[in-house]
Amino acid sequence: MNSFLIGLQFLTRLNIVKQSVWTEQSFGESVKYFPAVGAVIGIISAAVVGAVNLLELPLLTGAVGFATLIILTGGIHCDGLMDSADGLFSGREREKILAIMKDSRAGSFGVVAMILVAVIEVSTLAELARLSTWDLCAAIYSAPIIGRLMMVVTIGAFPYARESGMGKAFAQFTTRRTIIFAALEAIILLFPLKSLNAAAAIMVTFCVTWRFGTFAVNKIGGVTGDIYGAVTTLVEMFALMTFLVTCSLFPST
């Protein structure tokens, strides 16, 4: 339970129990509960967009849904996306890329990447809202769970690129068993939907995760905390898009 609360506090702005002293082990062991943290984010987001969608203003619903995801996490994953885009697409050598990613200032690649994600997610949620409130809520509930599952996959499947860093503890204590535990956890959390849409989203986002992780390894020899955040953000976007496509093509799934 303590590991879950640590993960909840680190990945969101929801501090149920204030954790002020963390050991590397407890910090690292929280990784296996990341999908459960995603479920908390998903439940709150689904409740918010479900209520807003009663107004029958799809674009507003999409904007509120996107904003809710950002507010609940404090934008931590968006920051990772922007830093990763600035570094990985800078065309520099490894050490310079790592230095750019560590810089707190946002560059042009990062800003463009975040704008594209925002536009795509808002429009995707708006289209889901036009289909049905159930499809909308199912998608925004599932996306954070799948996003954090793929973060666990990234942590466990790819080497850590830096000699030290906040993400180092995650990498040190994440094993194949951790990934299996997180995968089973995500399946249990998604099972109530009984939906092929979630299954399709997992398959699509796994491909996205593996491709992005491989790209990072080729560029800098591994992944970093920023890349963990970038993967989570991109996976949420692709999960929502997959839900939109599958819900449109197969309304009964």
Per-residue model confidence (pLDDT) at position 154 = 96
Q: How confident is the model over 26-70, as pLDDT tens digits?
A: 777 889 999 999 999 999 999 999 999 999 999 999 999 999 999
Axis-axis angle for helices 176-190, 133-157 (nearest 10):
180
C-alpha distances (whole Å) from 39 to each of 25, 58, 91, 138, 148 are 23, 23, 37, 11, 9
- What residue ranges in the chain does DSSP mark as E strands? none
Per residue in 5-27, pLDDT (tens digit) is 888 888 888 877 666 666 667 77
Spacing of C-alpha 48 from chain mean position: 19
pLDDT, one tens digit per residue, over 94-151 is: 889 999 888 778 888 999 999 999 999 999 999 999 999 999 999 999 999 999 999 9
| β-strand partners of 160 | 223
- Percentage of the chain exceeding pLDDT 70: 95
Q: Show me where the domains of the chain are located.
A: 33-249
